[in-house]
Amino acid sequence: MADSFEPAVVGETGPDTGRPGAPRQEPIRVLVVDDHALFRRGLEIVLAQEEDIQVVGEAGDGAEAVDKAADLLPDIVLMDVRMPKRGGIEACTSIKEVAPSAKIIMLTISDEEADLYEAIKAGATGYLLKEISTDEVATAIRAVADGQSQISPSMASKLLTEFKSMIQRTDERRLVPAPKLTDRELEVLKLVATGLNNRDIAKQLFISENTVKNHVRNILEKLQLHSRMEAVVYAMREKILEIR
């Protein structure tokens, strides 16, 4: 296991969860999905030590995960990518249909760019490798529950590589002009693409976090997208910005 882990963090707009650091009224309800019973049990033992996290159920494959998610309506689904019967990526789409408010974190050994990209397209909010220490899983769960996206650093780099490859493979001409973003919105979007959170963006641009949040909201509304990660993908595909 890695000695240290600093996941790339990308905040997302969403329901107001209150002031940063404010205590939660209810524990974060987690559904653990993995085809290895021993690994599921290990996660349950670790998460049981966290007062603000409650494991409400477990599943051994994607098909069972969808049924459990529909019954339990968890806040977070912690799920492996590759499982028998039905894989995590395929299950991800169905879980978002039966439990729209659930946020999905892929916790997997797969460091394949294709799995990462497909997981994000399917609606996953986090993608973490199992090489991270188990006690850091709780930190990732809290971050995602608070509206951020979490990606292992090595995978974040691969994600940008995949985006650039996608642009190179796509030579289609736009039929509709891309929505016009202001210079400041473009600045914010470029910093989002580097993995900075609202606080760091605010410091770099010498503006408040609320102002950054408003810019991000305007960007998503103009592009008709749901998350900051989608905005980065769109902007790179439409050549609104380039990541070198």
pLDDT of 164-206, one tens digit each? 565 555 544 444 455 788 989 989 988 887 778 888 899 999 9
Residue 20 inside a domain? The answer is yes
In a domain, 164, yes or no: no
pLDDT at position 54 is 95
Residues 136 and 181 occupy one common structural domain: no
Between 158 and 221, whose confidence is greater?
221
180 and 97 part of one domain: no
Q: Domain boundary at 130, 155, 180, which?
A: 155
Asked if 17 and 98 sit in the same domain, the reply is yes
151 and 181 in a single domain? The answer is: no
What is the C-alpha separation between 185 and 42, in angstroms, rounded?
A: 44
Tell whether 105 and 182 lie within a shared domain.
no
The token pair that represents 45 in the structure block:
């033992």
Q: CATH code at 119?
A: 3.40.50.2300
> Is there a contact between 103 and 75 (Cβ–Cβ < 8 Å)?
yes
> What range does the domain containing 228 cover?
172-237
- The answer to whether residue 161 is domain-embedded is no
d(CA 236, CA 1): 34
On whether both 112 and 209 belong to a single domain, the answer is no
Could you give the percent of the chain with pLDDT greater than 90? 33
Residues 124 and 231 in one domain: no
Do residues 70 and 137 share a domain? Answer: yes
Q: For 181-185, which contacts have Cβ atoms below 8 Å and span 24 or more sequence positions?
A: 181/219, 181/222, 181/240, 184/215, 185/215, 185/218, 185/219, 185/222
**145 and 178, same domain (yes or no):** no
Handedness of CA 216, 221, 225, 227 (dihedral sign): positive
Digit-coded pLDDT (tens) for 67-115: 999 999 999 999 998 888 888 888 998 998 999 999 999 888 877 777 8
Specify if 93 maps to a domain: yes
- 131/200 same-domain check: no
176 and 146 share one domain: no
Q: Is 77 helix (H, G, I), strand (E, B) or coil?
A: strand
Closest CA to 43 of 29, 57, 32: 32
pLDDT of 27 > 60? The answer is: yes
Per-residue pLDDT for 2 more than 50?
no
Say whether pLDDT at 235 is over 50. Answer: yes
pLDDT at 94: 92
Answer yes or no: do 134 and 185 share one domain.
no
pLDDT of residue 24: 60
C-alpha distances (whole Å) from 192 to each of 12, 34, 166, 198, 233 are 10, 31, 19, 8, 11
Q: What is the model's pTM?
A: 0.59
